[in-house]
Amino acid sequence: MENYKTLKAAGKVSVSKDGDDLQTVKKIYDADTGEESTVTSSITLKSAAYLVEICKSNISREQARLVELEQLETDLKAL
Distance CA 76, CA 79 (A): 5
pLDDT per residue, tens digit, the chain (79 aa), is 889 999 999 999 999 988 888 999 999 998 899 999 999 999 999 999 999 999 999 999 999 999 999 999 999 999 9
Distance CA 68, CA 72 (A): 6
Distance CA 53, CA 47 (A): 10
Distance CA 64, CA 46 (A): 27
